[in-house]
């Protein structure tokens, strides 16, 4: 838990006033002193006069390269923490500005509490910790917590964008499937595309098979100078995990090992079924009775000293040259392994190579997988009601409009909250259901729904999002039990859920 810095502070905001009016209103409403700047020149002039304690800068309107401006601000006699606001999901740029000393990097749209938390966190960093009554070791804890929170937002934003694109791909695949006969040769590859969503969920995985598949993919990537060897368990090494994520873990560790052996060497991937004692308090486990699958990735590369190993899994930490690594790979690797119920250890020494050991809970028997939607079904429910669709991603909006019209619905299409409000006011007939994204530029979906239902109390609501159900995360984001569909989704699934909402 991060303690909030409670004193009012002077907040410099630079950006398009209309687009940032939500940010400006939040800052004013919470008793902070607001200072506005039109461009990068104004920002520098105001900061040179020491008129602000923290700055929120929208990259879109600064008229300068964000990284250069940050470096110039840091050369001032009294630099202030800088929080960048952007529409971009460019993780590499985010990593660069964080490395250069930015206090935070926020992707729009921004919930009110996220803006305030970022301001308080940034100000707390630059004020003496003695004033807050913290000891020196707490400073390191705070910095690490800040990094992890920033990483969480960045990866969440990237996942949201990818899930939007997956929704488009799955949606159009379903629409084309509807036009094909059962004997059409195009049907099978389209069903395969639509099935990829299901493979993202945890299922039974034989780590031996996974390793063999990854070896085939990376054989050329590691180069002729690296000897790639596998030593696989004779019996199936079964775990329950997301196979795509485990592939990501292996690919990351294999390519890191390759980079550690620029002049060639030996890389060994080994699996074994082992018994381990459950780890307690994050400490290494001793041999015991809990069955685990052990995955080992060993190289004969340059190795690492103790100091490097101590920071290895921290967000944005990298030993690679600028532009060659984000410093996020191993952080994500550990997160994936922990999410799968396992743990990862590293053993290394300078000049003596590196060994990563991964332990995952073993699944003893073939367990039946939960049933999933029939992707190829031809009888998804239809309707004739009027749907108000609010989605700021044009590709997703276009696909959903085409799908809903084909299924008999009348569509009112809105790209933002203002357009949705106007349509709701001006439409003469009934609006049966609002289908809205949760994260919208001007306000969040639940707030929009509340305003629209003041005009049309009979209108039902279905939320959708590329983030893991944000309605269940608190933060005044509406009813956690409200109808919700997670992106990416197939049009079949949307048809079923929409029909269920309308028939309630």
Residue 277: how many CA atoms within 13 Å on its side-chain side?
Answer: 9
The two tokens of residue 444 are 């969040």
Nearest Cα residue to 93 out of 316, 318, 336:
316
pTM: 0.46
What pLDDT, on the 0 to 100 scale, is given for residue 184?
66
b or e along 112-148 (b: 16 or more beta carbons within 10 Å of the residue's beta carbon)? bebbbbbbbbbbbbeeeeeeeeeeeeeeeebeeebbe
Bridge pairing between strands 410-414 and 386-390: parallel
Helix segments in 198-284, DSSP class H: 207-222, 243-259
Same structural domain for residues 218 and 298?
A: yes
The two tokens of residue 142 are 């705070």
- Would 195 be classed as within a structural domain? no
Question: Which comes out higher in pLDDT, residue 262 or 322?
Answer: 262
Residue carrying structure tokens 């090992």: 257
**Mean pLDDT on 297-325:** 80
**Mean pLDDT on 72-86:** 88
Same structural domain for residues 71 and 213?
A: no
Quick check: 437 and 397 in contact, CB under 8 A? no
Looking at 77, 102, 134, the residue that finishes a domain is: 134
Range of the domain at 73: 10-134
Whole-angstrom CA distances from 369 to 199, 203, 340, 380, 434 are 12, 7, 16, 23, 34
Strand partners, 83: 56, 104
Q: How many domains does the chain have?
A: 2
pLDDT digit string (tens) for 213-246? 888 878 777 888 899 999 999 899 999 888 878 8
Residues constituting the chain: 504
- CATH code for the domain in which residue 340 is found: 3.30.565.10
What pLDDT, on the 0 to 100 scale, is given for residue 174?
72
- Would 330 be classed as within a structural domain? yes
- Would 466 be classed as within a structural domain? no
- CATH code for the domain in which residue 53 is found: 3.40.50.2300
Strand partners, 54: 11
**Mean pLDDT on 109-115:** 69
What pLDDT, on the 0 to 100 scale, is given for residue 415?
92
Reduce the DSSP state of residue 299 to 3 states and report it. strand
Distance CA 143, CA 57 (A): 21
Q: Please, what is the end-to-end C-alpha distance for the chain in angstroms? A: 40
- Would 367 be classed as within a structural domain? no
**Mean pLDDT on 473-483:** 60
Same structural domain for residues 224 and 357?
A: yes
The two tokens of residue 13 are 């905001």
Same structural domain for residues 114 and 220?
A: no
Band of pLDDT at residue 164, cut at 50, 70 and 90: confident
Distance CA 15, CA 449 (A): 28
pLDDT digit string (tens) for 415-468? 999 999 999 999 999 999 999 998 887 788 899 999 999 999 999 999 998 876
Averaged pLDDT of the chain:
78
Same structural domain for residues 330 and 213?
A: yes
| pLDDT value at 326 more than 80 | no
Same structural domain for residues 123 and 210?
A: no
Looking at 109, 134, 159, the residue that finishes a domain is: 134
- Would 126 be classed as within a structural domain? yes
| pLDDT value at 26 more than 80 | no
What pLDDT, on the 0 to 100 scale, is given for residue 501?
94
Q: SS3 for 71-124, per residue?
A: HHHHCCCCCCCEEEEECCCCHHHHHHHHHCCCCEEEECCCCHHHHHHHHHHHHH
Same structural domain for residues 224 and 332?
A: yes
- Would 103 be classed as within a structural domain? yes
- Would 434 be classed as within a structural domain? no
pLDDT digit string (tens) for 334-348? 888 988 889 999 999
What pLDDT, on the 0 to 100 scale, is given for residue 290?
75
pLDDT digit string (tens) for 238-280? 998 888 788 888 988 998 899 899 999 999 999 998 865 444 4
Quick check: 118 and 154 in contact, CB under 8 A? no
- Would 308 be classed as within a structural domain? yes
Residue 484: how many CA atoms within 13 Å on its side-chain side?
Answer: 19
Same structural domain for residues 211 and 300?
A: yes
Which residues, 6+ apart, have CB-to-CB distance to 365 below 8 Å? none
Band of pLDDT at residue 284, cut at 50, 70 and 90: very low
pLDDT digit string (tens) for 133-162? 334 444 555 555 555 555 555 556 556 666
Q: Which of 147-151, 366-370, 388-392 has the lowest mean pLDDT?
A: 366-370
**Mean pLDDT on 281-302:** 73
What pLDDT, on the 0 to 100 scale, is given for residue 459?
96
Same structural domain for residues 235 and 332?
A: yes
Same structural domain for residues 214 and 343?
A: yes
Distance CA 258, CA 243 (A): 22
What pLDDT, on the 0 to 100 scale, is given for residue 116?
77
Same structural domain for residues 217 and 125?
A: no
Strand partners, 406: none
What pLDDT, on the 0 to 100 scale, is given for residue 67?
82
What pLDDT, on the 0 to 100 scale, is given for residue 135?
44
Band of pLDDT at residue 375, cut at 50, 70 and 90: very low
Looking at 332, 361, 390, the residue that finishes a domain is: 361
Same structural domain for residues 219 and 340?
A: yes
């Amino acid at each position: 838990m991060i303690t909030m810095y409670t004193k009012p502070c002077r907040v410099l905001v630079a950006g398009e006033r209309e687009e940032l009016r939500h940010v400006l209103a939040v800052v004013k409403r919470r008793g902070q002193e607001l200072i506005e700047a039109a461009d990068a020149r104004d920002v520098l002039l105001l900061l040179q006069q020491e008129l602000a304690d923290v700055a929120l800068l929208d990259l879109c309107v600064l008229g300068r390269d964000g990284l250069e401006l940050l470096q110039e601000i840091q050369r001032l006699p009294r630099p202030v923490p800088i929080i960048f606001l952007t529409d971009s999901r460019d993780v590499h740029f985010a990593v660069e500005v964080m490395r250069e000393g930015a206090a935070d990097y926020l992707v729009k749209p921004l919930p009110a509490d996220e803006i305030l938390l970022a301001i308080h966190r940034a100000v707390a960093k630059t004020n003496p910790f003695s004033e807050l009554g913290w000891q020196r070791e707490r400073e390191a804890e705070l910095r690490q917590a800040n990094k992890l929170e920033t990483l969480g937002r960045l990866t969440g934003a990237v996942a949201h964008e990818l899930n939007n694109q997956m929704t488009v791909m799955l949606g159009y695949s379903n629409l084309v499937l509807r036009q094909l006969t059962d004997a059409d040769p195009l049907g099978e590859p389209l069903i395969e595309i639509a099935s990829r969503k299901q493979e993202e969920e945890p299922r039974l995985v034989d780590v031996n098979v996974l390793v063999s598949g990854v070896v085939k993919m990376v054989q050329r990537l590691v180069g002729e100078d690296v000897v790639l060897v596998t030593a696989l368990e004779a019996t199936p090494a079964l775990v329950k995990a997301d196979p795509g994520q485990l592939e990501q873990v292996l690919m990351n560790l294999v390519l890191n090992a390759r980079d550690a052996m620029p002049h060639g060497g030996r890389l060994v991937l080994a699996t074994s079924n082992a018994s381990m004692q459950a780890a307690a308090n994050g400490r290494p486990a001793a041999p015991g009775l809990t069955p685990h699958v052990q995955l080992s990735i060993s190289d004969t590369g340059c190795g690492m000293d103790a100091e490097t190993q101590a920071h290895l899994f921290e967000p944005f930490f990298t030993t690679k040259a600028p532009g060659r690594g984000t410093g996020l790979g191993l952080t994500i690797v550990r997160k994936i392994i922990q999410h799968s119920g396992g743990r990862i250890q590293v053993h290394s020494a300078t000049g003596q190579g590196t060994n990563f050991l991964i332990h995952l809970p073993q699944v003893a028997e073939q367990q039946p997988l939960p049933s999933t939607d029939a992707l190829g079904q031809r009888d998804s429910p239809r309707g004739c009601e009027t749907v108000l669709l609010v989605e700021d991603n044009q590709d997703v909006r276009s696909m959903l409009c085409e799908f809903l019209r084909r299924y008999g619905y009348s569509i009112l299409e809105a790209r933002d909250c203002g357009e949705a409000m106007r349509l709701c006011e001006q439409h003469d007939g009934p609006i049966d259901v609002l289908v809205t994204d949760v994260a919208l530029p001007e306000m969040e979906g639940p707030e929009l729904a509340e305003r629209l239902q003041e005009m049309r109390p009979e209108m039902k609501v279905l939320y959708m999002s590329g983030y893991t159900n944000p309605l269940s995360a608190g933060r005044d984001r509406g009813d956690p039990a409200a109808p919700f569909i997670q992106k990416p989704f197939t049009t079949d699934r949307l048809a079923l859920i929409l029909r269920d909402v309308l028939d309630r």
